[in-house]
Structure 1
Amino acid sequence: MKLTASYIREENKKRNRDLRQEEDQYNPYIGAGSNTVERTPLRISDLPIPLFYAPKEMLCHDLIKSLEKEGSIFAYLQKLNIPPQKENVRKIIIAVEKIRIKTDFEYTAASYFKIKPKPKKDPFTGQDIVIEGDIPFILNRGQRKLLKVLESFRLRRKSIRIILLKARQWGGSTLVQLYMAWMQLFHHRQWNSTICAHVENTARIVKGMYTKILKYIPVELVDNVNYLMMRPYEKSAKTSIIEGPDCRITIGSAEKPDGVRGEDTVMAHCTEIGIWKVTKGKTPEDILNSVTSGIPMVADSIVVYESTAKGVGNLFHREWLRAKSGENNMTPVFISWFDIENNAVKIDNVIDFINSMTDYEYNLWEKGATLEQINWYRNKSKEYPNEWGMRQEFPSDDIEAFQSSGKRKFDIYQVQNMRKFNKEPLFYATVESTLLLKECDDSDKQKEFLKNSFIKKLEGVPNKEDNLLKVWALPTKEYIRRRYVVSVDIGGKSDKADWSVITVFDRKYMTEIGGVPEKVAQWRGHIDHDLLAWLAAMIATIYDNALLVFESNTFETEKTEGQHFEYILDELGGAYDNLYCRNSAQRIKENLPPKWGFHTGESSKTMIMDNMTKMLREEGYYERDLECCNEMDQYEIKEDGKLGAIEGCHDDILMSTAIGVYVCYDFKYFPMPEIYIPYEHKNHNKQPKIRNESTF
């Protein structure tokens, strides 16, 4: 039930008051309004700022403790019998300033780091704010949110490992880079860093911030240096050195990865990973590993992966999901578009605006956005030809950020919910037999070939998963009829063709009320079609002679469906007879020719994908494979109404899965699984005794 317009108007006033108060109260010079670190009021009457909110870390220094106790520099010097002359007072002021610089990043940034301003509007009046020249680096709301995470690691003396998913245009790269500069200038000597972007020019721009800030930092505030200057390191075009702290800065790009290996590096900023491309001989994973693998897990070491989302299935998306599930050592940080103060536009008639809000805009309100922010979003979205482009660049949550298509077939949040069932396989394997297929020249020998099939476990995780079987669960010796389904989507033989995919479903849990099937194994690869047929039959044999379902559409060649299945059936040669047939048993008895396999024409494809929509909504099966969820996110309704993967992506795993799930629930053809008692275990002479209620 939607809220009334008058209630939303009053609540919006409160939200705006809170935001304005937050901005009005924020003052990094006195530490007011900061929530990034714990602070305590510190009063020393003759400091340039006699009262400010100091980080608790600052109060741990002996000098600060003594000055706070005495209340002034004058009283402190008198107690030490030091003449309170101007020069002596100045030395104490500089000593206090050095301590604050090392413990209060927000103060340091505002006082000594200068940046180029970006065009902006006042979010409450809508007026343009024109600023000329460099300005102090005063952190905005999104930057403070990120700084809080950075400082939480530093103050616990932990290595900093962050993956940052962000909306555009709020200065995330600026904060990361200047935080690293803060470490190099005020905390450590020889604390080398690497900046790796998608293109080298971006890395140069990021590095250019250093040159600017060095101009404004008084040398006397940096420990044990006489001057600050940046120059090329040993005539290198990509590596510079800050003379004084003796820290090197190396830049590189994913397009030209040579020279960005993280040797003797303790900090790395990897930016816009979502658009890193495969280069000659190197994948994005290779480049990332070369930059970060040598960085030690020590206090103040830093690795930041940072990007706007660029679809699913890429390196950044995979690392984000791993971070959210705790599978890597990165901490996920998300910055939404309404964490950015500049993203707001004044509204002339609030009630009219509320009455014109769409369901999606109402959802933004529910997530905490103000009406002025929603108005900005409405106007900004007009610059984009489709909704998904806007939502990728300016997401309201991390799930929305990774959507890859404007006409998604599957709800993004339902796909995200299905990901909770994803698991790494127990192991990878090949499928083999103790007999050689080429020596089995009749159906009896071919049956023996299938009966002697087995799964051969591979040790460790292979570099490439192609042409291998992922195993989440092995078949077990349980007396369940109609337990397993094996579905096969037939692809091409060349490396650039569609994949062939074999998927195994276990219907064991369906013997219980409310139970659903589970994906327990999956093979994907490029293979000759005759070998694919035998491989699928081998896997089906291993999994308790499973119902074997071949997708029966035309495939890489121009063969018709009938020719294709005559070929498949001829290859199997009667050795495996538990094949899916679209005809009912009654129609076959009526001497109608059998229609083997599952035909995926446009109508049947729509049917099984509609069924998948229902399965996602109702958690109708357990999806173990991450890549299948990625393909769901890449599956769309085309302009002509047809279904398929977005350009450049695949849907083969999804297709095999959708067919298998549909058949698992096709009770008219394949009845529910059932537990049975083998004949040899039955006692035909005695009735079972009822011993207690549980036995009954």
Structure 2
Amino acid sequence: MAELTPAAREVRRRLLHDYRYYAAKSLVIRAKNAQIVPLKLNAAQQILQDAIEEELASRGYVRIIILKGRQQGLSTHVGGYLYFNVSQKEARKAMVITHHSDSTRALFDMTKRYHDNVPAILRPSTKYSSRKELSFDRLDSSYTVATAGGDQAGRGETITDLHASELAFWKASKARELWNGLYQAVPETPGTNVFVESTANGVSGLFYELWKGAVEGTNGFRAVFIPWFLQPEYRSAVPEGFERTPDEEELVIKYNLDDEQLQWRRIRIAQNGLDLFRQEYPCYPEEAFLTTGRPVFNPETIYGMMEDAKDTKPHSRLALEGHPEIGFEWNKHSRGELEVFEPHDPSESYYIGADVGLGVRNGDWSVATVMDSRKRVVARYRAQVDPDYYAYVLNELGLFYNEARIIVENNNHGILTCNRLGKDLAYPDFYIEEVLDKTTDKITERLGFYVSVKTKPLIIDQLRADLRNNELSITDEVILRELSTYIVNESGAMEAEEGCHDDCVMSLALCNFIHEGYFEPIPADDDWYVEAI
């Protein structure tokens, strides 16, 4: 083979190290107009490539999580970048995991198109090619695709390039185990790449947690989000008589949108509705997360509370120490189950709502929410304790909070908690239901509150109305997170999203149900009395 000229050597060097140059000169894609064209990076892809290059410059490897909108070409970009690496370098193993078999095939077909159309001088020797893998024998590198929930992909292997696609839609029961296995297979060494990309799917789950950790700078990932209005093609001709709505005027002020972009937005909203538009074409990350699913509580209200609570830390944490025979005492403890958000006030009136868990590991939680007279959540107890012991916890919690009025769910194992608290411990201010005995036609008393298909909507709808009217003040992120993942399922029932809990929601709803409301005192000075006379 003839020796390369200096100019040719420089071209080859750029093809090896400069992905932007390599993509435009070597890769082809099927464009939106159904034409096969060179991969010239669009605005969104340029932003992603900037983030990749910043990662490489700062620490030598890439860890990026992408919250994406619709048809921005970010999956295409990641696929091209992985092929760029494995087809030119030795001992690389790329693994792509998607949420659905159709997506798996689509991403592999895209990579196969790269491979089939790359210039011959850049196409590596191929040992074999299947519907799931490209293997390059001389480089000892490979590119493999798989579907989440299938075989334990990545187990026992060392992966250099990982692409977790649509992570928010991986099956919740298997997502964490699969992700942990894959992520642990990628060494934290120079040249390795991990990309997580997905559209949003509610304020819960693995993808949301990874995104939140990246934004907060706690998990080692760089967060990348590109709003829809950076796409130059997202414009439509403006008709005569076009006038902006108040909401559109706000968008113009915030994001400097023009009328062509607003008209394009109007058309998409008319076709699919505002909620779907916000999910698929978000202006900011939280908009995408908050408009997915079928939330019971207003997402914007909950998100506003989350923003207000972001910098709020618990006043203290307390643990209940002692034994029934010798007595109990609340003591400060860094890992105490009782998180206190406001200092205790000896003159205040308090209310406690309690949801009872079974007390087993990996099960539901026993939660007690404490409100003051102004409907501020001042404390929250959350632990996995036995139902009988939970009665002692509630007794001590109520006494600590000035003999607070307590309401306890009496379903299933909650019956034991209610009997122990109301009868054995004789708590002084315990909620008792009056129930009509249909057999004797007499009114009987029942300790606690029975949550049924009839009574659950009563307390949840009251909580929903009071939250909408801004009557509650909540700075507890655990409660707010559960409120955000409390949904209406396909059968119309209200419950926690799969993989989430609703113990805090039920505890809060019960507490709100027995709250007598807050009355602002009217100051009365001498002038008031003169006017009254």
With normalisation by structure 1, the TM-score equals 0.61
Contact preservation (8 Å) 2:355, 2:507: yes
Q: Which residue of 2 aligns with 1:181?
A: 83
User: Of residues 172, 186, 190 in structure 2, which corresponds to 1:299?
Assistant: 190
Q: Deviations over 1:195-220 (max 9, x none)?
A: 11112442343233333223344455
For residues 568-647 of structure 1, the aligned pairs below 5 Å read 568-569=418-419, 572-573=422-423, 575-580=425-430, 605-613=460-468, 615=470, 620-625=473-478, 628-635=479-486, 644-645=494-495
Q: Which residue of 2 aligns with 1:333?
A: 224
| Cα distance in 2, alignment partners of residues 421 and 643 from structure 1 | 34
Q: Which residue of 2 aligns with 1:94?
A: 8
Q: Which residue of 2 aligns with 1:196?
A: 97
For residues 373-412 of structure 1, the aligned pairs below 5 Å read 373-384=261-272, 386-403=273-290, 404-405=292-293, 409-412=297-300
For residues 157-556 of structure 1, the aligned pairs below 5 Å read 157-186=59-88, 188-218=89-119, 220=121, 228-232=124-128, 238-261=132-155, 263-278=157-172, 283-349=174-240, 352-355=241-244, 357=245, 359-366=246-253, 367-384=255-272, 386-403=273-290, 404-405=292-293, 409-412=297-300, 413-418=303-308, 420-421=310-311, 434-435=323-324, 448=325, 451-452=327-328, 470-472=337-339, 480=346, 482=348, 486-490=352-356, 501-505=366-370, 517-523=377-383, 532-537=390-395, 540=398, 547=404, 549-551=406-408, 555=411
Task: State the Cα distance separating 1:320 from its structure 2 match.
Answer: 1.2
Across the aligned residues of Structure 1 and Structure 2, the Cα RMSD in angstroms comes to 4.6
Task: State the Cα distance separating 1:112 from its structure 2 match.
Answer: 0.8
Instruction: Determine helix, strand or coil for the equivalent of 1:195.
Output: strand
Q: Which residue of 1 aligns with 2:507?
A: 656
Does the C-alpha gap of structure 1 residues 270 and 602 become closer, same or farther in structure 2, counting only changes over 3 Å? closer
Contact preservation (8 Å) 1:241, 1:248: yes
Task: State the Cα distance separating 1:165 from its structure 2 match.
Answer: 0.5
Question: Could you tell me which amino acid in structure 2 is paired with residue 108 of structure 1?
Answer: Y
Instruction: Determine helix, strand or coil for the equivalent of 1:550.
Output: strand
Does the C-alpha gap of structure 1 residues 515 and 582 become closer, same or farther in structure 2, counting only changes over 3 Å? closer
Instruction: Determine helix, strand or coil for the equivalent of 1:249.
Output: strand
Does the C-alpha gap of structure 1 residues 144 and 650 become closer, same or farther in structure 2, counting only changes over 3 Å? same
For residues 74-85 of structure 1, the aligned pairs below 5 Å read none
User: Of residues 45, 51, 57 in structure 2, which corresponds to 1:155?
Assistant: 57
Instruction: Determine helix, strand or coil for the equivalent of 1:549.
Output: strand
Does the C-alpha gap of structure 1 residues 652 and 452 become closer, same or farther in structure 2, counting only changes over 3 Å? closer
Task: State the Cα distance separating 1:309 from its structure 2 match.
Answer: 0.6
Does the C-alpha gap of structure 1 residues 392 and 647 become closer, same or farther in structure 2, counting only changes over 3 Å? same
Q: Deviations over 1:467-500 (max 9, x none)?
A: xx84546999x88455875421357899999x56
Unaligned runs of 5+ in 1: 1-86, 120-130, 436-447, 460-468, 558-563, 584-592, 670-696
Contact preservation (8 Å) 1:580, 1:598: no
Instruction: Determine helix, strand or coil for the equivalent of 1:353.
Output: coil
For residues 33-112 of structure 1, the aligned pairs below 5 Å read 91-112=5-26
Question: Could you tell me which amino acid in structure 1 is paired with residue 83 of structure 2?
Answer: A
| Cα distance in 2, alignment partners of residues 424 and 286 from structure 1 | 32
Instruction: Determine helix, strand or coil for the equivalent of 1:146.
Output: helix
Q: Which residue of 2 aligns with 1:143?
A: 45
| Cα distance in 1, alignment partners of residues 331 and 465 from structure 2 | 34
Question: Could you tell me which amino acid in structure 2 is paired with residue 213 of structure 1?
Answer: Y
Instruction: Determine helix, strand or coil for the equivalent of 2:21.
Output: helix
Instruction: Determine helix, strand or coil for the equivalent of 1:215.
Output: helix
Question: Could you tell me which amino acid in structure 1 is paired with residue 9 of structure 2?
Answer: A
| Cα distance in 2, alignment partners of residues 268 and 405 from structure 1 | 28
Does the C-alpha gap of structure 1 residues 601 and 406 become closer, same or farther in structure 2, counting only changes over 3 Å? closer
Instruction: Determine helix, strand or coil for the equivalent of 1:241.
Output: strand
Task: State the Cα distance separating 1:506 from its structure 2 match.
Answer: 8.2
Greater shift, 652-661 or 176-185, is seen at 652-661
For residues 659-674 of structure 1, the aligned pairs below 5 Å read 659-660=510-511, 666=517
Does the C-alpha gap of structure 1 residues 596 and 208 become closer, same or farther in structure 2, counting only changes over 3 Å? same
Does the C-alpha gap of structure 1 residues 637 and 415 become closer, same or farther in structure 2, counting only changes over 3 Å? farther
- Whether 1:118 and 2:32 are equivalent positions in the alignment is yes
Does the C-alpha gap of structure 1 residues 361 and 285 become closer, same or farther in structure 2, counting only changes over 3 Å? same
Instruction: Determine helix, strand or coil for the equivalent of 2:90.
Output: coil
Task: State the Cα distance separating 1:623 from its structure 2 match.
Answer: 1.0
Contact preservation (8 Å) 1:189, 1:246: yes
| Cα distance in 2, alignment partners of residues 240 and 604 from structure 1 | 57
| Cα distance in 1, alignment partners of residues 311 and 517 from structure 2 | 23
Instruction: Determine helix, strand or coil for the equivalent of 1:178.
Output: helix
Aligned residues: 500
Task: State the Cα distance separating 1:544 from its structure 2 match.
Answer: 6.2
Instruction: Determine helix, strand or coil for the equivalent of 2:146.
Output: strand
| Identity fraction in percent | 21
Task: State the Cα distance separating 1:454 from its structure 2 match.
Answer: 7.4
Does the C-alpha gap of structure 1 residues 475 and 95 become closer, same or farther in structure 2, counting only changes over 3 Å? same
Unaligned runs of 5+ in 2: 434-443, 521-533
Larger Rg: 1
Instruction: Determine helix, strand or coil for the equivalent of 2:242.
Output: helix
| Cα distance in 1, alignment partners of residues 30 and 265 from structure 2 | 25
Does the C-alpha gap of structure 1 residues 205 and 667 become closer, same or farther in structure 2, counting only changes over 3 Å? closer
Question: Could you tell me which amino acid in structure 1 is paired with residue 96 of structure 2?
Answer: I
Task: State the Cα distance separating 1:244 from its structure 2 match.
Answer: 3.8
Q: Deviations over 1:380-436 (max 9, x none)?
A: 23443x53233222222111111235676334241441451577999998x77535x
| Cα distance in 1, alignment partners of residues 221 and 315 from structure 2 | 22
Q: Which residue of 1 aligns with 2:439?
A: none
